[in-house]
Structure 1
Amino acid sequence: MILRSVVGKLWLTIIILVSLVLILLSLFLNQQVEKTYVQDQQISLSKLADVVQRKLNSSEVDTANYVANTIAIAKQFNTHVVVIDQKGKVLPILSTIEESVPKELVQKANLSHILAGNKTVAVGRIPSTESYLTSPFQKNDVFLVGVPYKKANKIVGAILLYQTKDQLSVADIKHWIFYSALIGIALTTVFAFFLSTRITQPLIQMQKAAEKMALGQFSTRVRVRPHERDEIADLAITFNRMARQLEESINLLSHEKEQLTSILRSMVDGVLTISASGKVIVTNPPAEKLLSLYEFPHSRLLPPPLESAFRQVLEEEQEYQGDITEQGRTWAVVMTPLYARDQVRGAVAVLRDVTDERLLDKFRKDFVANVSHELRTPLAMLQGYSEALLDEIAETPEVRHEIAQVINDESQRMGRLVSQLLDLARMEAGYIDIEPNFINLHTFIQRVCRKFANLAEEQKVTLSSDLQEPIPEVFWDADKVEQILTNLIGNAIRHTPENGNVTVEVYWRDEGVYLDVVDTGTGIPEEDLPFVFERFYKADKARKRNNSSGTGLGLSIVKHLVKAHDGEATVRSKVGEGTTFSVRLPVEVQLEDDEELIG
């Protein structure tokens, strides 16, 4: 692992370079010491041998005293002087001199070569078991110089001068060079590690800071010492500047993203951002509402109605506008391509729920058509009969009276239609004045039923009431409830065939008082039941009798009046068996300050 780090590589490089330099330097110094010091010692020893030879060969010198003085002086410099005869025996020229010399030393000196009048210079180890050579001579190499010993110009022996390398401290010098190299390598190791650590510490800090920034901690900074302004410190300062700018940019982007998210969430329109592959990337709550209508609301797949529009936008690279309908809801779609430079990278779709607008538009058209239809017939009859009167087609008073009666009936019908339209408009606008009073339901129901007695008798329909005890005293607006029952009972009588029955049932349950109008008419088809309380809606045309004067507004008025009393109106019907309109009203209408506008 250390070789993979900058610290390890830098440390190892410095160690290798310094170690290599120190090793080469040590080898060079050893060689120079060996070459220079040893050669100098050999030359010095050789010169000393020449001087000793010259003095001993001179007849003017006291040989015994000179040799004694020479040996004494030489010992001060760790040098030994020996004079041997031709057989290798020590000459008794000095009583203190050794009596014998090891044959190994004589062999090393090459006595025959010396006796031939030549000088011998030798270097090497002289192992011997004799006591003459002490341990240093046995363990270390020996410098040896031999010269002929002459007496009366005749060679009678040899003068040997020798000393050991240990005595010359050459090995110590080499050892100190080696130890110095080791100490240098050790110090270099510590220094290199310290240097590499100091150099790479800011890099490690920047690495850790980058890792934290990669995890989203953009406030991370690298510490820079003020007194350290080198290249690495400049790099750390630049890194901190980059981190600060990046943090500002991220905060700005985050702020803009939050603003965009808030705007998207507060929009009434749905917004979808779609990738080039057709996957939904960004949505807001209204768009999620559309996606939730499909089986895969969380798969981020584009719904089929939008997918075809999306493919069209990608192929044509033009804006798409249209409507889609799903589960009774209508959405207006505007889809625009998104570009990345010159290529389309997706699309953005704006969706608006226009269900209510489309329904209002449909209601407006239906309202105009229905009002036109309802007014066309009486207007045509008024115009026709009035023209008959003007053209004096009616010759007898009876005919004129009949025409006048028709004109009066149609005028009243138009008046009722206009009055109901005005009432319905006020109710839909939220203006219904509720003035409740305590009502005795027995008296109230009987009075309402008596009002329809003549109409029931004319239609040959049996009208009755059924009040199930106990019936509490209620707190309702009598006029509004009477209007509710009037519309329901009138419709029931008109749509009940001869010999049929219409019954007003009143009963009390825990949740309120129920007013049910039950008839034995032809019934309403099941598919028409959800729409019977809509204005101008007429279900089975077979339920309309020829003399029916209904406007199609009565049940819509009933719905609004019941809602104003905090009640509920429902219908149950089966074709061929009859219809039941059920109205549930609370026992007491809750009002504030005894008067309230309810919508």
Structure 2
Amino acid sequence: MWRSVVGKLWITIIILVTLVLILLNLFLNEQVEKTYVRDQKKSLEQLAAEIQKKFNQPGQDQIQYLNNVLQVSELFHTYIVTLDSSGSVSNYGVSPHVPNVPWQEVLSQKDLNRVIKGETVFIKGKVQDRDPNQFPFLKNDVLLVAVPHIVGGKTVGAIVLYQTQEQLSETDIKRWIFYSSLIGITLTTIFAFFLSTRITLPLIQMKKAVEKMARGEFSIRVPVRYHEQDEIADLSMTFNRMAAQLEDSIHQLSQEKEQLASILKSMSDGVLTISKYGKIVLSNPVADQFLSLWEGETQKNTLPPPLQDLFNKVTDDQKEYTGDISENGRTWVVVMSLLYTENQVRGVVAVLRDVTEERRLDKMRKDFVANVSHELRTPLQMLQGYSEALMDDIAETPEERRELAQVINEESQRMSRLVRELLDLARMESGHIQIEPIELPLNELVLRVIRKFQGLARERQVQLCADLGDSLPMVYWDEDKIEQVLTNLVDNAIRHTPSQGSVTVHAYFQNKKVYLEIEDTGSGIPEEDLPFVFERFYKADKARTRGQSGGTGLGLSIARHLVNAHRGNITVKSQLGKGATFRVELPVRVKTEMG
């Protein structure tokens, strides 16, 4: 209960009221006792003095007078007894209803001697050692006044006047004061509980509202008692304003957080927020993919070794750093900067960008420039040299001049073919390949390409043949482009097959796909060069060189783009010294973008 405001307030009010009532009860009892005893004592003393005075007047019938007084005094619950000097009841009389009492024990001999000497003795309280059942009139408190009994100027005993507290007396008054105090405490308890509950009800509602807000329910409000414009109502309205402002702030923060999360999620670059202790606080999906490369090697939320080294440099030197990280054949550029809060470093932010493709394209660009320069430099030098020879009349006979002119013509055609294929390849790589499929028989297409190269094959003493499977379907392809693919592959196979070798074109239908395979018995392609054969200006430094074949190095790259445009796939299998097989996989019908 002491942990509750209601309990504390309730108990505090009860304790305060109880203390006040107890003190008031003690004070009233004291005042009642003093007032009651004082008044009763004064009355008894006045009556005793009057009786004593009458006894001292000569000629009075003292016994008759005393009897009259005794009868009247009993009407006011006052009893009179006359005692002799030994303490026994004298013959002067006693109140009619006073039983035979050993007055020597009510008024001790010592007190009696004091009265005989002329003093007035007052006694209040219970008579000691008296049995209430034997002397019922003595069971209550007694107020007793004893004065000297003087007859003829001589003290013969004592006149005793006493009252018992049988009626509504001091004891009754004290008892009612006590009962009133109990009733006051009970009513105070009920009132205190009601008051404390009413006062603390808004506080309890605020406590529940705060607990709900701690659980994330920021829309909670406390009811306001507008008819009671007190401090608690003001506190409730202030709490509601605070809750509204807090809800609005949380809503704005939530929106900003969601917006930031969406931005981070949609970023193509990886973003990491790192605490000043080197622990990962926030990361987006791209950064998670980067960190997954070290999964199992580092603990959760811990930087991988390459990032840890860069983090140490940034925090030690207090400046931005940029570095490259390479892992599993991929390369990332990492930019790491410090984060500040009130001029205090609170962490580091790292931005990661996968530049593998950019680096590859940059290398391809450089290789492309180098290859084009190399391919063009040789024919240009030959054109320049032979043209200068013609101009200087080095060739003396017409046959020599025709030979020089033929070389110039062949090199110019080679340059023209190179430029044309470069333009075609550039157009294909930019996505400008227009497929115009028509329905055509597959076997006729293959045989037409075979017939085209029979002369070149005989010239090089290479056997060229076709292996056509059964039930070849009608296909729906772009005839010119597929013929260009087969032309490039067959031409490439013949040029790289030595004399007495063979080139076979296989065509078959399987699993709803059409397969075209160009198999040769040439020297083959080294295994380490296989992943690069479809790149521009591919050149293996062993058996297949353009110096021997006269190719431009662009045919396979062009073939790949044309096959991909038909939603197909082209692969190569080869072993050094055992020839090569290029395999083209195409659907029976090509689906164009128009349907």
| TM-score normalised to structure 1 length | 0.91
Partner residue, 1:60: 59
Separation in structure 2 between the aligned mates of residue 480 and residue 97 of structure 1, nearest angstrom? 155
Separation in structure 2 between the aligned mates of residue 416 and residue 129 of structure 1, nearest angstrom? 150
Partner residue, 1:342: 343
Runs of 4+ aligned structure 1 residues displaced above 6 Å come to none
Query: Which segment is superposed worse, 265-274 or 212-221?
Result: 265-274
Query: Which segment is superposed worse, 81-90 or 565-574?
Result: 81-90
Partner residue, 1:253: 253
Query: Which segment is superposed worse, 428-437 or 415-424?
Result: 428-437
Which amino acid is 1:480 matched to?
K
Query: Which segment is superposed worse, 283-292 or 246-255?
Result: 283-292
1:123-162 to 2 correspondence within 5 Å?
123-126=124-127, 128=130, 134-135=135-136, 137-162=137-162
Query: Which segment is superposed worse, 284-293 or 460-469?
Result: 284-293
Partner residue, 1:79: 78
Separation in structure 1 between the aligned mates of residue 509 and residue 323 of structure 2, nearest angstrom? 52
Partner residue, 1:524: 525
Partner residue, 1:309: 310
TM-superposition CA deviations, 1:350-373 (whole Å, max 9, x none): 333434333332222222111111
> Does residue 103 of structure 1 match 2:102?
yes
Partner residue, 1:285: 285
Query: Which segment is superposed worse, 563-572 or 96-105?
Result: 96-105
Partner residue, 1:40: 39
Separation in structure 1 between the aligned mates of residue 99 and residue 460 of structure 2, nearest angstrom? 174
SS of the residue aligned with 2:480? helix
1:153-552 to 2 correspondence within 5 Å?
153-167=153-167, 169-295=169-295, 299-544=300-545, 547-552=548-553
Separation in structure 1 between the aligned mates of residue 529 and residue 491 of structure 2, nearest angstrom? 20
Separation in structure 2 between the aligned mates of residue 83 and residue 564 of structure 1, nearest angstrom? 148
SS of the residue aligned with 2:2? helix
Separation in structure 2 between the aligned mates of residue 443 and residue 564 of structure 1, nearest angstrom? 22
Shift, 1:246, TM fit? 1.6
TM-superposition CA deviations, 1:122-173 (whole Å, max 9, x none): 2342355699x751x2312322222333333344443221112344711111
Which amino acid is 2:107 matched to?
K
Q: Is the 8 A contact 1:524 1:540 kept in 2?
A: no
SS of the residue aligned with 2:337? strand
Separation in structure 2 between the aligned mates of residue 289 and residue 9 of structure 1, nearest angstrom? 59
Q: Is the 8 A contact 1:320 1:334 kept in 2?
A: yes
Q: Is the 8 A contact 1:90 1:99 kept in 2?
A: no
Query: Which segment is superposed worse, 166-175 or 103-112?
Result: 103-112
Which amino acid is 1:528 matched to?
D
SS of the residue aligned with 1:3? coil
Which amino acid is 1:588 matched to?
R
Q: Is the 8 A contact 1:505 1:516 kept in 2?
A: yes
Separation in structure 2 between the aligned mates of residue 130 and residue 510 of structure 1, nearest angstrom? 128
Q: Is the 8 A contact 2:506 2:516 kept in 1?
A: yes
Which amino acid is 1:461 matched to?
V
Query: Aligned pair in 2 of structure 1 residues 498, 138: CA closer, same or farther (>3 Å)?
Result: same
Which amino acid is 2:41 matched to?
Q
Query: Aligned pair in 2 of structure 1 residues 47, 326: CA closer, same or farther (>3 Å)?
Result: same
Partner residue, 1:19: 18
Instruction: Give unmatched runs, 5+ long, in structure 2.
Output: none
Shift, 1:310, TM fit? 2.7
Separation in structure 2 between the aligned mates of residue 243 and residue 96 of structure 1, nearest angstrom? 86
Q: Is the 8 A contact 2:462 2:498 kept in 1?
A: yes
Which amino acid is 2:366 matched to?
K
Which amino acid is 2:412 matched to?
S
Query: Which segment is superposed worse, 45-54 or 436-445?
Result: 436-445
Separation in structure 1 between the aligned mates of residue 593 and residue 193 of structure 2, nearest angstrom? 89
Query: Which segment is superposed worse, 325-334 or 384-393?
Result: 325-334
TM-superposition CA deviations, 1:300-330 (whole Å, max 9, x none): 3334433333332222222333443443444
Separation in structure 2 between the aligned mates of residue 408 and residue 433 of structure 1, nearest angstrom? 32
- The count of aligned residue pairs is 591
Query: Aligned pair in 2 of structure 1 residues 87, 386: CA closer, same or farther (>3 Å)?
Result: closer
Identity percentage over the alignment?
Answer: 60
Separation in structure 2 between the aligned mates of residue 298 and residue 424 of structure 1, nearest angstrom? 48
Separation in structure 1 between the aligned mates of residue 416 and residue 392 of structure 2, nearest angstrom? 26
Separation in structure 1 between the aligned mates of residue 396 and residue 565 of structure 2, nearest angstrom? 53
TM-superposition CA deviations, 1:51-104 (whole Å, max 9, x none): 112212322222233122211221121001122444555444569847974224
Which amino acid is 1:574 matched to?
Q
Partner residue, 1:3: 2
Shift, 1:393, TM fit? 2.0
Which amino acid is 1:301 matched to?
T
Q: Over aligned residue pairs, what C-alpha RMSD do you find?
A: 2.8
Query: Aligned pair in 2 of structure 1 residues 128, 369: CA closer, same or farther (>3 Å)?
Result: closer
Shift, 1:45, TM fit? 1.0
Which amino acid is 1:227 matched to?
H
TM-superposition CA deviations, 1:372-420 (whole Å, max 9, x none): 1111111111111222222222223333232222222212211211221
Separation in structure 2 between the aligned mates of residue 245 and residue 99 of structure 1, nearest angstrom? 89
Separation in structure 2 between the aligned mates of residue 99 and residue 183 of structure 1, nearest angstrom? 40
Q: Is the 8 A contact 2:287 2:352 kept in 1?
A: yes
SS of the residue aligned with 2:340? strand
Partner residue, 1:29: 28
Separation in structure 2 between the aligned mates of residue 437 and residue 236 of structure 1, nearest angstrom? 82
Shift, 1:503, TM fit? 1.1
Q: Is the 8 A contact 1:109 1:121 kept in 2?
A: no
